[in-house]
A and B are shown apart, each in its own frame.
Chain A
């Protein structure tokens, strides 16, 4: 049985719902020896500012049970070098490029959107309004409903590209941020970014990260992320892109059934850069077993009706 893995995110058609998550896949080209980038639904490249950024000093990551904290601080080459040095190769590799953009001000988001709209080979813009590791901008938009609305509407005005705000879980009610994004014209929302967290070395009493706090990712956060995707799915009509600790096809399916049209995979790629074909094979196997022809038909099909008692005759 042939299966159709393609999904629609606004005007953008993805070959399949598996996207490499921003901040966990470099600029994509780093992984070209491990994976044919054209086989991915999308490649969300590392968050870009207008200018180059140095990021935080090490230590930048620390491992925690079933997860990791990071405080990289958005080290990056800036949008101009990205367009010059990385985008042509990504284009040549056939990647569906989702560019994650970060600004300190509204104007910077708008400027980034303008510049990238003129570049050849950008499929969509993901607005990073949720990085917990930088003080200025970014998350200050993502933690205010007004700020979220403002930045999404401003970017929408200047770009024909699909706009996908990436939401932070570090708010009381993430669904209201999905609604604010939808009202502002977002084509989709993606969630969750990392959970603000910290770890301490008790011997030295020092924080394990140079930035003191960082973002928690990995399987540890998955159940919370699934719940948040479920809440957002019920709050908005635009597609929800789910992420948070996905490390297997079953994990991805959990998000899809909860309401994610597509999913992003981040931390698991650090452990297994060959994970992508395993995820796609797993989705295909599941669809065949359940006789589902189009994965789009599986999105949000969670059955929450009361369970009937099942009597097992002895």
Chain B
């Protein structure tokens, strides 16, 4: 059920000069939020900023089987994220949700590979917990500019999630974009299963022995979707477009999707990423 909650700030932890994790007392939204869903946050009181901003639900906060609230992972970029960065315990933040189409989960023996770029880590804590609860083997591919911007590594590692890291400056993991180790591992993974033959990829149903989930900058999502298609693996990407309302009212957050999945080059039409997404199949989006 959709709710608008004046949520009290439980805590606000600065992870770096720009990143923070803010915990909000919005238990009713948290209890219903599914991995990949988002909330629309209004941090200001008056007309600046006027509109809400979308944030993936990062963590669900629980104590003694009781849902206390949720956290948001935020990077200080604009007005709203600055207010979120500077908020202190006891402040209130208006939080509308849960909204959007969640990730589809996979069960063993299929594996889950989550690919995060920067603040795109946001939906993967809840996704990881949901996957682990089903016993699905889960890997996090996580890239950022430098090692200092890779957060929550212990959180994921302590839950048995395999980490594959990449940084642009090489300070942690591969010195590369995260799609480089992703492609390498997909190639290795592919060599462990029988060759699907020489038919073109579009003739084959994708193998669901591994599901790839991605969230991050759109060029990264495009690259992940292409790599996944190249190795005939399905992908789900969580997009972020400029959003006005989060509920399908304003038609601002549209993204082009293919009219059919027949292949690249076919006609596309715009769909609202707030209600048709934010999670889409990687091969559904008309990236070009």
Chain A residues in the interface with B (C-beta under 8 A) = 23-26, 30-31, 33-34, 46, 54-55, 58-63, 65-68, 70, 72, 75, 218-220, 267, 269-274
- B96 surroundings in chain A (CB, below 8 A): 273
Chain B: minimal CB distance from A40 (Å): 14
- B172 surroundings in chain A (CB, below 8 A): none
A54–B47 touching, CB < 8 Å: no
Q: How far is the CA of A222 from the CA of B73 in the complex (A)?
A: 35
Chain A: minimal CB distance from B271 (Å): 10
Which of B47, B242, B252 contacts A219 (CB under 8 A)? B47
Which stretch in B26-34, B48-56, B83-91, B136-144 binds the other chain?
B48-56
- A272 surroundings in chain B (CB, below 8 A): 4
Which of B48, B242, B247, B254 contacts A30 (CB under 8 A)? B247
- B52 surroundings in chain A (CB, below 8 A): 270-271
Which of B48, B51, B251, B252 contacts A271 (CB under 8 A)? B51
- A68 surroundings in chain B (CB, below 8 A): 50-51, 244
- B157 surroundings in chain A (CB, below 8 A): none
- A270 surroundings in chain B (CB, below 8 A): 51-52, 244-245, 249-250
A25, A65, A269, A273, most chain B CB atoms within 10 A: A273
B244–A34 touching, CB < 8 Å: no
B47–A218 touching, CB < 8 Å: yes
Q: How far is the CA of A3 from the CA of B223 in the complex (A)?
A: 60
A26–B249 touching, CB < 8 Å: yes
Q: A61-B244, A271-B42, A274-B4 known; A218 and B250 CB under 8 Å?
A: no
- A273 surroundings in chain B (CB, below 8 A): 2, 4, 96, 245, 247, 249
Chain B: minimal CB distance from A184 (Å): 30
- B252 surroundings in chain A (CB, below 8 A): 58-61, 70, 72
B254–A75 touching, CB < 8 Å: yes
- B249 surroundings in chain A (CB, below 8 A): 24-26, 30-31, 269-270, 273
Q: How far is the CA of A61 from the CA of B52 in the complex (A)?
A: 13
A58–B275 touching, CB < 8 Å: no
Known A59-B252, A61-B252; further 13 A-B contacts with Cβ < 8 A:
A26-B247, A30-B275, A31-B247, A46-B251, A55-B251, A58-B242, A58-B253, A59-B242, A60-B251, A62-B242, A66-B47, A66-B50, A218-B47
A63–B50 touching, CB < 8 Å: yes
B244–A26 touching, CB < 8 Å: no
**Nearest B residue to A208 by beta-carbon distance?**
B242
Q: A54-B269, A58-B242 known; A72 and B250 CB under 8 Å?
A: yes
Q: How far is the CA of A274 from the CA of B4 in the complex (A)?
A: 8
**Nearest A residue to B52 by beta-carbon distance?**
A271
Chain A: minimal CB distance from B113 (Å): 29
Q: How far is the CA of A9 from the CA of B104 in the complex (A)?
A: 48
Q: How far is the CA of A310 from the CA of B212 in the complex (A)?
A: 73
**Nearest B residue to A25 by beta-carbon distance?**
B249
